[in-house]
Amino acid sequence: MSSTSFSDWLQARVEQTETVLDQSLPPVSQEPARLHEAMRYSVLGGGKRVRAALVYAAGEAALQGKPMAAAQLKALELAAAAVELIHAYSLVHDDLPCMDDDKLRRGRPTTHVQFDEACAMLAGDALQPLAFELLAQMPIAPALIVQAITQLAQAAGSAGMAGGQAIDCESVGIALDRDQLQEMHSMKTGAMLQASVLLGGIVAGASSTVRNGLEEYAQAVGLAFQVVDDILDVTADTATLGKTAGKDAADNKPTYVSILGMDGSRELLGALNEQAQLALRPLGPAAARLMQLADYIVGRNH
Amino acid sequence: MSSTSFSDWLQARVEQTETVLDQSLPPVSQEPARLHEAMRYSVLGGGKRVRAALVYAAGEAALQGKPMAAAQLKALELAAAAVELIHAYSLVHDDLPCMDDDKLRRGRPTTHVQFDEACAMLAGDALQPLAFELLAQMPIAPALIVQAITQLAQAAGSAGMAGGQAIDCESVGIALDRDQLQEMHSMKTGAMLQASVLLGGIVAGASSTVRNGLEEYAQAVGLAFQVVDDILDVTADTATLGKTAGKDAADNKPTYVSILGMDGSRELLGALNEQAQLALRPLGPAAARLMQLADYIVGRNH
């Protein structure tokens, strides 16, 4: 690992991701202009880029100290952009009136408020295949590309993100127990966080030991991410969050805080972070950025 | 080509596609059950499967009389299912209230009427990655899989189907000229029909001569498909169509019939079929099913 501080490293990854996304999204000068504008509005200029950072950090971990080839770097950039495209599309659809009906996202009007519902839906619909197109462009062995695409497709589909979303929709006002809540979140949020980590590993040619470590790490971090989200929904204000605070409680949605209480949630968080750090032990110093990312995810305030 | 009649051949492809789709879609016994039910409802038990048939026929044409290997057949089956999944998802989203607000599809209530809007949107969202997952499973050279995925992603995205959908949405009540209408349709419907043909070619390892012929054929057939749709919207009744007839005129949408008149549209249709048949000449007798499919598309009454 280089001596760059974590916050400088993260900032550099955020900017790198923004640049690649900007170059990968179709320009507004090209028809259909309004759709392209909505796609760019939904993706660019915001977001913590945690998923992209996980791709880069996992790639670094998988290399185990070997220098990164230019083609591997390019592939990591495309994979990082791909997971952010899927994440962005899911937010656009999730904010629609027929879903969460949210007006505010990243401190700005949501896509359907800024444009219109049809345009927002189509923007999301078009972002999804773009993610697969970017993976198909990675300058690495085609067999690895196919592995990466399978990973992303499964994480985005009915056994992953879209499936978790569906359970979430159906569970409004229903008392889920802790296992059901965990299952829902591991699909809705965890699957894509896990895919981000595994994509980084696939691109960098991770050994099976490294892959196992990455998988275990990703599971713990994915869950931790959601526990933090639930805590912040209660403790943070709308301005800090950039989205409507207190919304889960108002919607009568089950959360970790509603099931475990605030203290219980914070305890779980500590345990999950420890689990994530432990999983990385076999990977040695190359996993330092992943360790810092787990601390960052657990400690974030928005 | 075997001596099987075209209608028997087509019927066999429809059944084959239905079987592969049924096996590829997640079972209702698996959670999230309601989402899986909505996905299956949206895909199975209907549809002309024209896109799937194009995949099979193009594969046969590309083989140029060579026997089809079991792996190639399996790959064609997966590719045929993939294009039908993308097509089905696009219909589900297109029927939503924020888009065309249609209540009837293939003679049954549309997915959002049968389930609800959120469920329909998520079913569409989950069908899309499943299509890419199926392509990634094809038992052919990974480099060909990557080509196929690029093709499908571009056809489904903002330069293809979703883009054409967006132009369509924005052009309600606006007088498009013939070039603009053609551009819109070549994206909205043509791109996926073309991708179906090209996927068949890719899977069967088409030579560049064959690919050129397939591309030219696909362009003509894609356009012809839309002209027929526009004619049927005027001449057929709702029962025959299985969807609401006369809807384009009622929505004040520009169509070939509104721009060229009925006679002009029928003339264009004849010219496009001729163009499609001519494009296949260099491919010889292996292209017989594709020729018959063009005749079928031009002559269909629903």
**Nearest-angstrom CA–CA distance, A138 and A113:** 34
A108 DSSP 8-state letter = E
Place of tokens 């603009």: B180
Q: Is the pLDDT of residue B243 over 80?
A: no
B163 neighbors B180 (Cβ within 8 angstroms): no
> What residues in A contact B165, CB-CB < 8 Å?
122, 125
Mean pLDDT of B190-207: 96
What pLDDT, on a 0 to 100 scale, did the predictor assign at position A185? Answer: 86
CB atoms B136 and A117 under 8 Å? no
In this prediction, the answer to ipTM > 0.85 reads: yes
Closest to A144 measured CA to CA, from B145, B129, B148, B198: B145
What pLDDT, on a 0 to 100 scale, did the predictor assign at position B242? Answer: 67
pLDDT: is B217 or B236 the higher one?
Answer: B217
pLDDT tens for residues B114-161?
A: 999 999 999 999 999 999 999 999 999 999 999 999 999 999 999 999
To test the contact with chain B by mutation, choose from A100, A125, A145, A161 the residue with the greatest count of B C-beta atoms within 10 A, namely A125
- Do β-strands B108-109 and B104-105 pair in parallel, antiparallel, or remain unpaired? antiparallel
Spell out the residues 6+ positions from residue A107 whose beta carbon is closer than 8 angstroms to its own.
A46, A239, A242
What pLDDT, on a 0 to 100 scale, did the predictor assign at position B13? Answer: 97
A106: closest CA of chain B, how far (Å): 23
**Nearest-angstrom CA–CA distance, A187 and B182:** 41
Question: Among A251-260, B37-46, B84-93, B217-226, which stretch is predicted with the lowest mean pLDDT?
Answer: A251-260
Q: Is the pLDDT of residue B5 over 90?
A: yes
Q: Which member of A39, A152, A165 has the closest CB to residue B122?
A: A165
Q: Is the pLDDT of residue B271 over 60?
A: yes
A272: closest CA of chain B, how far (Å): 26
**Nearest-angstrom CA–CA distance, B142 and B259:** 45
pLDDT: is B237 or B57 the higher one?
Answer: B57
> How many Cβ atoms from other residues are within 10 Å of residue A171's Cβ?
16
What pLDDT, on a 0 to 100 scale, did the predictor assign at position A236? Answer: 78
Q: Is the pLDDT of residue B197 over 90?
A: yes
What pLDDT, on a 0 to 100 scale, did the predictor assign at position B245? Answer: 66
What pLDDT, on a 0 to 100 scale, did the predictor assign at position A239? Answer: 64
A242 DSSP 8-state letter = S
CB atoms A128 and B129 under 8 Å? yes
**Nearest-angstrom CA–CA distance, B34 and A170:** 9
> What residues in B contact A170, CB-CB < 8 Å?
32, 34
To test the contact with chain B by mutation, choose from A98, A161, A185 the residue with the greatest count of B C-beta atoms within 10 A, namely A98
**Nearest-angstrom CA–CA distance, B77 and B12:** 12
Share of chain B above pLDDT 90, in %: 79
* Positive/negative CA dihedral, B154, B156, B157, B162: positive
What are the structural domain ranges in chain A? 6-299
Buried b (16+ CB within 10 A) or exposed e, B193-214: bbbbbbbbbbbbbbeeebbebb
Is residue B30 classed as helix, strand or coil in its secondary structure? coil
Classify residue B1 by burial, with Cβ atoms within 10 Å: 0-12, 13-18, 19+. middle
Q: Is the pLDDT of residue B177 over 70?
A: yes
Length of chain A: 302
Q: Which two tokens stand for residue B110?
A: 């549309």
Share of chain A above pLDDT 90, in %: 79
Q: Which two tokens stand for residue B227?
A: 């002209």
Is residue A37 classed as helix, strand or coil in its secondary structure? helix
> What are the residue ranges of helices labelled H in chain B?
6-24, 33-43, 50-63, 70-95, 111-114, 117-136, 142-156, 161-170, 178-185, 191-203, 208-235, 238-241, 247-250, 256-280, 288-299
What pLDDT, on a 0 to 100 scale, did the predictor assign at position B248? Answer: 67
**Nearest-angstrom CA–CA distance, B116 and B111:** 7
**Nearest-angstrom CA–CA distance, A24 and B153:** 14
What pLDDT, on a 0 to 100 scale, did the predictor assign at position B2? Answer: 62
Mean pLDDT of B35-64: 96
pLDDT band, very low/low/confident/very high, at B185 (cuts 50, 70, 90)? confident
What pLDDT, on a 0 to 100 scale, did the predictor assign at position B132? Answer: 98
A59 neighbors A291 (Cβ within 8 angstroms): no
pLDDT band, very low/low/confident/very high, at B174 (cuts 50, 70, 90)? confident
CB atoms B136 and A158 under 8 Å? no
What pLDDT, on a 0 to 100 scale, did the predictor assign at position B234? Answer: 87
Residue A113 at interface with chain B, using a CB cutoff of 8 Å = no
Mean pLDDT of B162-183: 83
pLDDT tens for residues B38-51?
A: 999 999 988 899 99
Q: Which residues of chain A have pLDDT under 50?
A: none
Closest to B81 measured CA to CA, from B18, B125, B137: B18
B164 neighbors B184 (Cβ within 8 angstroms): yes
Establish, for the pair of chains A and B, how many residue pairs have beta carbons separated by less than 8 Å.
Answer: 165
**Nearest-angstrom CA–CA distance, A93 and B118:** 9
**Nearest-angstrom CA–CA distance, A45 and B254:** 37
pLDDT band, very low/low/confident/very high, at B239 (cuts 50, 70, 90)? low
CB atoms A118 and B98 under 8 Å? yes
Q: Is the pLDDT of residue B178 over 90?
A: no
What pLDDT, on a 0 to 100 scale, did the predictor assign at position B241? Answer: 64
Residue B71 at interface with chain A, using a CB cutoff of 8 Å = no
CATH 3.50.50.60 fits B6-299, yes or no: no
**Nearest-angstrom CA–CA distance, A162 and A156:** 6
pLDDT: is A46 or B263 the higher one?
Answer: B263
pLDDT band, very low/low/confident/very high, at B101 (cuts 50, 70, 90)? very high
What pLDDT, on a 0 to 100 scale, did the predictor assign at position B87? Answer: 97
